[in-house]
Amino acid sequence: MNAVYTRQSLDVKDSLSIESQLDACLNENGSAAYRHYNDKGYSGKNTERPAFQQLMADVRKGTIERVIVYRLDRLSRSLLDFAEMIDVFKKKDVEFVSCREKFDTSTPIGNAMLSIIMVFAQLERETIQMRVKDNYATRMERGAYDGVAPYGFGKAIAKVGGKQVHTLDVNEESDIVRSMFNEYAYTGDSLGAIAKRLNAQGIPSPGEAPWDGGKISRILSNPIYVRANADIFAYYNALGMTITNPIEDFIAVNGCITYGGWERSRRKFSQYDRLKLSIGLHPGLVDSDTFLRCQTKLKANRQICNAGKGKHSWLTGMVKCGYCGHSLKVMVDQKGRGIKRFVCSGNTNCGICSQFGSQRVDELEAGVEHELMQMVERRRDIEAKIEMELDTEESRIKIEQAKISEKLNRLVDALAEGEPSSASAVMKKIAELEEKKKLLGVELRSHRAKLPSQQELLQFRDTARLWPHMTIQQKREVAKLLIDKIEVKCGEIQIYWKYNFEA
């Protein structure tokens, strides 16, 4: 079924009537069956038009094969709206024809015009994104806050330069935030102890998940809570953060706002040189002395944690509690025996898991090592299977690609010798075959990506012989090549391998 779309904003003398548009479209449509979609009295400045919305719904249902309009602006005056519409047409294999501009996506020229339009649409998108980013940065420099309200605050409205902007105001959670800062700064409580207390009291965290040390640390690290004074200016200036306000604005009343680009794989507040800091419009919750005490303690805590990361077991980072899903961490017996045990961080950090108990590190390592060595011993079987699968798949794909190449050669010859009237159909077929050829290449690369590379296999070729002499880090690297994760329950170990090869 073809679709004919017409639109007329106002019925005035110089406006092309619906009837005239319909006649021109029907000349293009010929004798094919069609459905008429008509928006009379609607502007083209947006897509909020009943007939247009019905047309797009029918396109998505797959009931429309071709859309015909008198002129491009009958569908939309927005380049972005038009580009989004064309994207839907392409996904549903719907041809598009504009009578006035002689625009027909079933022809090579029409497709070329479409490509030009899409390039300008992408340019407009990027320009809009840059404008939004610049406006966002300007608002933040003036102290506004556009993001989700952090814990202890709610969203509010303020006026800056006669314009309304978003900001923050304290809520009922603010007392909990103050308590966190005071306990961590002036008592011996750890992050985990604070998290346990909050969970025991039934106080929900952001997102309703249990509190843990990480959530507490992120709150205590955030300068949005501090009543910023000259000491705060000096602290972040020394860390390399760009500060947009002069020191005279740091009068121990308002909190700070941080923004800018950072790598998501790294901690936000360890990338100070990539961030900006501005005085916010919102009030701070804690004084600068308490805040800076917390930063000193957090910094020392991170150094201790990083120094001892994974030094007790090569399984660290891979073992999870089979009851609650939290990571297992190593605790060392301090009573002189030096026995190392895995305990559940869901219990020690959050106080939410009491089922796991503990598991001796040496016993768990021995069990996993036995299974790992069996998998390593099968490496020749694994390599042979990989080689066979790759050869079989490559052969199949190369045969398909060769068949396509033959068809393309015949079509090119036909195009050179054929009639001009058949050129559009031949070009369309060539484009389809080229696309299929590309998809076959993607399919092969995807298959290879699912299998371990020869380089990875070589890394554990001599593992059985070298294993007793390896360091903890070297053993961990070998294990991570084959193991995705390990779930542990009392008396039960479940290893999830990265590669599920049958014997």
Give every CB contact of residue 188 below 8 A, 6+ residues apart in sequence: none
pLDDT band at 334 (very low <50, low <70, confident <90, very high): low
Domain span at residue 172?
Answer: 153-307
User: Within this chain, do residues 115 and 185 fall inside the same structural domain, yes or no?
Assistant: no
Among 284, 307, 330, give the residue marking a domain's end. Answer: 307
Distance CA 230, CA 249 (A): 9
pLDDT band at 78 (very low <50, low <70, confident <90, very high): confident
Give every CB contact of residue 228 below 8 A, 6+ residues apart in sequence: 250, 252, 254, 255, 256, 279, 284, 288
Query: To the nearest 5 percent, what fractions of the chain are helix, strand and coil?
Result: 50, 20, 30
Between residues 246 and 451, which one has the greater pLDDT? 246
User: Within this chain, do residues 296 and 158 fall inside the same structural domain, yes or no?
Assistant: yes
User: Within this chain, do residues 114 and 164 fall inside the same structural domain, yes or no?
Assistant: no
Tell me the range of 207-211, 249-253, 408-412 where mean pLDDT is highest: 249-253
Among 194, 198, 200, CA closest to 213: 194
User: Any idea what the CATH number is for the domain that residue 28 is in?
Assistant: 3.40.50.1390
Among 290, 307, 324, give the residue marking a domain's end. Answer: 307
User: Within this chain, do residues 79 and 171 fall inside the same structural domain, yes or no?
Assistant: no
At 356-399, the pLDDT tens digits run: 878 888 889 999 998 888 877 776 566 566 566 666 767 777 78
Distance CA 277, CA 286 (A): 17
Distance CA 248, CA 245 (A): 8
Count: domains in the chain: 2
**What's the pLDDT at 419?**
56
Is residue 38 assigned to a domain?
yes
Distance CA 113, CA 295 (A): 58
User: Within this chain, do residues 124 and 159 fall inside the same structural domain, yes or no?
Assistant: no
Is residue 270 assigned to a domain?
yes
Residue 306 has pLDDT above 50, yes or no: no
User: Within this chain, do residues 118 and 165 fall inside the same structural domain, yes or no?
Assistant: no
**What's the pLDDT at 244?**
93
User: Within this chain, do residues 233 and 192 fall inside the same structural domain, yes or no?
Assistant: yes
At 23-39, the pLDDT tens digits run: 999 998 989 999 999 99
- pTM of this structure: 0.50
Residue 272 has pLDDT above 70, yes or no: yes
User: Any idea what the CATH number is for the domain that residue 295 is in?
Assistant: 3.90.1750
Is residue 108 assigned to a domain?
yes
User: Within this chain, do residues 110 and 157 fall inside the same structural domain, yes or no?
Assistant: no
Is residue 17 assigned to a domain?
yes
Among 279, 307, 335, give the residue marking a domain's end. Answer: 307
